[in-house]
């Protein structure tokens, strides 16, 4: 699966890129028809400590799945976004099977 990571107004390090890619690769075991994904990381300009935003768009045949999560760290935000996509993928597969 192709993973494209975009960061707004900062440069991600390899450790964060690898973490996100590893999490997204686990989704392939749920659905082998995943074409690719786009990840956008940004910092929200607020006074709150939970100002890191991870948006993930997962490209699957038929329609795209999307999750946007905000947290204290990019790792935590990406992890919760991947969990949301995991639930969406499960529902998507059930709908395709006609359940």
Residue 84 has pLDDT above 90, yes or no: yes
| H helix runs in the chain, sequence order | 14-25, 74-97
Indicate the CATH number for domain 2-97: 3.30.160.100
Do 6 and 17 form a contact (C-beta atoms < 8 A)? Answer: no
Residue 99 has pLDDT above 70, yes or no: no
Residue 3 has pLDDT above 80, yes or no: yes
Cβ density class 43-54: b for 16+ within 10 Å, e for less: eeeeeeeeebbb
The per-residue pLDDT for range 12-55, each reduced to its tens digit, is 999 999 999 999 999 988 888 899 999 999 998 878 888 999 99
Our measurement of the distance from residue 74's CA atom to the centroid of its chain's CA atoms, rounded to an integer in Å, reads 11
The per-residue pLDDT for range 51-67, each reduced to its tens digit, is 999 999 999 988 899 99
Report yes or no on whether pTM surpasses 0.85. yes
Computed over every residue of the chain, the mean pLDDT equals 91
Query: What are the two backbone dihedrals, phi and then psi, of residue 19, each rounded to the nearest 5 degrees?
Result: -60, -50
């Amino acid at each position: 699966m192709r993973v494209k990571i975009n960061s707004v107004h900062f440069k991600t390090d390899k450790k964060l890129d690898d973490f996100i890619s590893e999490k997204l690769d686990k989704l392939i075991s749920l659905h082998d028809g995943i074409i690719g994904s786009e990840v956008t990381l940004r910092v929200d300009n607020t006074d709150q400590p939970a100002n890191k935003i991870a948006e993930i768009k997962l490209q699957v045949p038929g329609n795209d799945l999307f999750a946007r999560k905000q947290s204290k760290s990019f790792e935590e935000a990406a992890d919760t976004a991947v969990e949301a996509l995991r639930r969406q993928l499960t529902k998507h597969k059930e709908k395709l099977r006609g359940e």
